[in-house]
Structure 1
Amino acid sequence: MKALTIEPLTRDAFAPFGDVIELQGARQIPINLGTTIRYHDLARIDVTDAGGRAIVNLFRGQPRVLPFEVTMLERHPLGSQAFIPLTDKPYLVVVAAAGELDPEAVRAFVTRGWQGVNYAKGVWHHPLIALDDVSDFIVVDRGGEGHNCDEQALPESLWLTSEGLRGAAG
């Protein structure tokens, strides 16, 4: 069994795969006569290839149980895909760089609950991996014509384990 090391999600560690969507470190702009703070430009939404347009969805993820077997990854070649959690519940993110899928370069991250992710166009990722409870996410991605989802089976399963998750705490 090949276990993935689960890393804490940080902007620097996740940069090769897209954006971490979080308030910490974001540009703040007072608006609405000073009654609201706008956390500005949190992710690079990239969905206009082949006439695409941005769409907003709600995904309700059922919790997964560890150990969890990762057998495939998917990618969206025509646009980015942003996941913004509506609750403060950690979830797992499994990714590999855009281009030809390299199973040896797959990485796993655990969020600190309110952190979102924006997968860059073409980045390989596993579908949503909620933990502990049903979790809701606003998802901003591409709508429109054209093939925008490739799935690829891994030659060997990768495992996410509670031991790996404990190692990422802190």
Structure 2
Amino acid sequence: MPVDETRSEARVLSVETLTREAFAPFGDVIELEGARHYPINLGTTERYHDLARVDTGDEGGRTLINVFRGQPRELPFEVTMMERHPLGSQAFIPLHGRPYLVVVAPAGDLDAQALRAFVARDGQGVNFAKGVWHHPLIACGEVSDFIVVDRGGGGVNLNEQTLPFSYVLPVDALVTE
């Protein structure tokens, strides 16, 4: 969605480099660098172990593995809403080497002042912890496929909320220090 220049309350959202430490309040960064690993299958395979906490069991939920095909978003991009999954975590693992953007806010009541944005690089996925607010997939550049691990089953596992003001991810959002 292009930026609505008529919205006077739009704020620029600075974009951070995605690291395990910076993203920890919101879930897990799924990447091989720095992960615990060991050889298996007679030494022919390296297992990168326990990369994210999959949490889908509330109210009889079950774990689903999906592929999401994200249409590219144009920068600048206006963030006007957030969503969360109160009954389970949701992981996105890219099947491409392109950067994509992640916008999050802490679990609990949505605090529009607490939004943070990250740029995920080649080899980085994210796992949103149960109840963490996040913007839907923000693929950049071209159509992008992601393996998504999330919850299926009964109960209401999607809340969406419109922000009281919008944030803009700037044209240079994919460039971080």
- TM band (smaller chain): over 0.9
Over the residues paired in the alignment, what is the CA RMSD in angstroms?
0.8
Task: Specify the alignment match of 2:30 in structure 1.
Answer: 21
Q: Which runs of 5+ in 1 are unaligned?
A: none
Distance in 1 of aligned mates of 2:93 and 2:150 = 11
Report the structure, 1 or 2, having the larger helix content.
Answer: 1
Task: Specify the alignment match of 2:135 in structure 1.
Answer: 126
Tell me if 1:4 matches 2:16: no
Task: Specify the alignment match of 1:156 in structure 2.
Answer: 165
CA contact (8 A) 1:26 1:42 kept: yes
- TM normalised by structure 2 equals 0.93
List 4+ stretches of structure 1 deviating above 4 A: none
CA contact (8 A) 2:87 2:131 kept: yes
1:165, CA displacement in angstroms? 3.5
The Cα offsets for residues 67-116 of structure 1, whole Å up to 9 and x where unpaired, read as 00101000000000000011111000000000000000000000112200
Question: 2:106 corresponds to which letter in structure 1?
Answer: A
Distance in 2 of aligned mates of 1:114 and 1:96 = 23
Distance in 2 of aligned mates of 1:64 and 1:100 = 27
The Cα offsets for residues 102-140 of structure 1, whole Å up to 9 and x where unpaired, read as 000000000112200000000000000000011100000
Count of matched residue positions in the alignment of Structure 1 and Structure 2:
168
Distance in 1 of aligned mates of 2:130 and 2:121 = 24
1:53, CA displacement in angstroms? 0.6
Aligned equivalent of 1:91, options 82, 88, 100: 100
- TM normalised by structure 1 equals 0.97
Task: Specify the alignment match of 1:110 in structure 2.
Answer: 119
Counterparts in 2 of 1:19 and 1:72: CA distance versus 1, 3 Å: same
Q: Which runs of 5+ in 2 are unaligned?
A: 1-9
1:164, CA displacement in angstroms? 4.0
Three-state SS of the structure 2 residue aligned to 1:159 is strand
Distance in 2 of aligned mates of 1:27 and 1:33 = 18
Question: 1:137 corresponds to which letter in structure 2?
Answer: F
- Identity among equivalent positions (%) equals 70
Three-state SS of the structure 2 residue aligned to 1:162 is coil
Three-state SS of the structure 1 residue aligned to 2:92 is strand
